[in-house]
Amino acid sequence: MFADVAPQTLLIDPVSVAALITPRTRAVVAVDYAGQPCDYDTLRRLCDAHGLALIADACHAIGGSYHNQRVGTIADLSTFSFHPVKHITTGEGGAITTRNAEWATKMRHFRNHGITTDHRQRAEKGSFFYEMVDLGYNYRLTDIQAALGISQLQKLPGWITRRQQIAAAYDHAFAAQPAVAPLHVAPDVEHAYHLYVVQFDLAQLTVDRAAIFAALREAGLGVQVHYIPVHFHPYYRQRFGYGPGLCPRAEAAYERIVSLPIFPAMDDDDVQRVIDTVGTVVARCCRV
Ligand SMILES: Cc1ncc(COP(=O)(O)O)c(C=O)c1O
């Protein structure tokens, strides 16, 4: 079941989660949308009260933190993606962090055909012995990918700093634009800014998001929309009967959001060009 989001952060709303918990619920999966960690104190209390696992989809938030806890150490399981569009990449692949040794062993087996040892562990023990104890797959990251990931990790802090600088420049510029609302950032979190998302106040504009998107693209900005609500996709509609109305706040946000360019190689002129272009497009579409 999908819980709705809080309208200003677009992070999962613990009140919506609480209303959906049933005896069949096993876990809460929270997405650190755009790079901001979710409200983990509240989610943790909820999960503990109901005996649920707390899973963080931290794919956007690598390098961030929440109440002085690094992303990856907060939930029972935290997942990371190293897809090329993410902060750091291994071409494809990802990682999961957990403090639960039993789950870690299970996941190591699962990524390795359900086999208890890999070739390196066997070599260390000087033994040929291994056992297949479970059904698993080949989800291993190659050594070459891992080497790339390790070198990328060293660059991560500098890249996040640059993303935060760009976000600060956008925040400052859009504070003077009533029709453009950046997402709210909660106190005491470090936002990793995988995305910089704004919500357009359509009541102040003469056009819809599609027209704004087209105008920004036309002006040369590589804007995007993250995301189409998951429950709108045919799989969820056909398999579970989901559709519009399930998560009204996420659906309303979907009509208003645009992700602006943000990546560490942007220089100050690039950032200013984005700010100016958004300003020009909004001025053209403003009601007054
Ligand atoms: C929030 C989030 N979770 C999960 C994924 C999936 O990552 P991967 O394709 O590496 O499995 C993505 C990828 O875009 C993502 O943005």
Among 5, 81, 259, the mutation site with the greatest number of ligand 1 atoms within 8 A of its Cβ is 81
pTM: 0.96
Per-residue pLDDT of the chain (288 residues; tens, 9 = 90+): 999 999 999 999 999 999 999 999 999 999 999 999 999 999 999 999 999 999 999 999 999 999 999 999 999 999 999 999 999 999 999 999 999 999 999 999 999 999 998 888 888 989 999 999 999 999 999 999 999 999 999 999 999 999 999 999 999 999 999 999 999 999 999 999 999 999 999 999 999 999 999 999 999 999 999 999 999 999 999 999 999 999 999 999 999 999 999 999 999 999 999 999 999 999 998 886
125 annotated active-site = no
Catalytic residue, candidates 86, 106, 125, 155: 86
Residues touching ligand 1 (Cβ under 6 Å) are: 31, 57, 59-60, 81, 83, 94
Q: Which atom of ligand 1 is nearest to the CA of 31?
A: 1
66 vs 80: CA distance, rounded Å: 16
The CATH superfamily assigned to 14-93+141-285 is Aspartate Aminotransferase, domain 1 (3.90.1150.10)
pLDDT recorded at residue 288: 67
Is residue 249 within 8 A of residue 13, CB to CB? The reply is yes
Among 10, 12, 32, 59, the mutation site with the greatest number of ligand 1 atoms within 8 A of its Cβ is 59
Q: Which tens digit of pLDDT belongs to each residue from 128-155?
A: 999 999 999 999 999 999 999 999 999 9
Q: Is the peptide bond before 196 cis (omega within 30 degrees of 0)?
A: no
**Per-domain residue ranges of the chain:** 14-93+141-285
Amino acid at 126: G
Span from the CA of 55 to the centroid of ligand 1 (angstroms): 14
How much is the mean pLDDT over the chain? Answer: 97
Q: Which tens digit of pLDDT belongs to each residue from 232-274?
A: 999 999 999 999 999 999 999 999 999 999 999 999 999 999 9
154 vs 138: CA distance, rounded Å: 27
Is residue 21 within 8 A of residue 47, CB to CB? The reply is no
